[in-house]
Amino acid sequence: MNYRLKQEAVPFFKEKYAKAIYIFDVWDKIGVDIVALEKVEECFISYGHESNKGSSLAGWEDGKGSRFHFTLNFPSMKFKEHDKFSNGKVIREMMNQVQSQLDYLYTSFNTVDE
C-alpha cells in the first residue's frame, strides 16, 4: 500500500515530501506517524519522471515555455491488462479527460491575476 502526506500535515514537513508517495516503511524511517498519512488509490499520479539517469520534474526553456513531468502509476496491473489498456481507445479517452482538466486549470490560473 502506498501513502502520501495528508493536506493538513504538509506544512509540518520538508517541502520535498509534499508530493512524495512511498510505502509505509519509508515514511516510518523518515519519522512520519501514520496519523499524518493517507492511502493512495490503486492507480495514482506522481510528480516527475524517473529513469536510470535520475528524476526529471519540470523545466522552462526560452521559446518553448514550461513543461511538467508526471507519471501515471498502476502498480498492480498485470502484463495482459497493460497490453489491453495501453492500446488505442482507453489511452485516447484518458488523454482527452486529462487535457480537459489541464485546459480548465490553466485558464483558471491565468485569470487569477486579472
Q: Quick: pLDDT tens for 60-75.
A: 889 999 988 888 888 7
Average pLDDT over residues 13-23: 88
8 domain-assigned: no
Q: Please, what sign has the CA dihedral across residues 102, 92, 72, 35?
A: positive
Average pLDDT over residues 38-63: 81
State the residue range of the domain holding 112: 77-114
d(CA 67, CA 95): 16
Domains in the chain: how many in total? 1
Residue 19 banded pLDDT, cuts 50, 70, 90: confident
Residue 114 banded pLDDT, cuts 50, 70, 90: low
95 domain-assigned: yes
112 domain-assigned: yes
Read off the pTM. Answer: 0.58
85 domain-assigned: yes
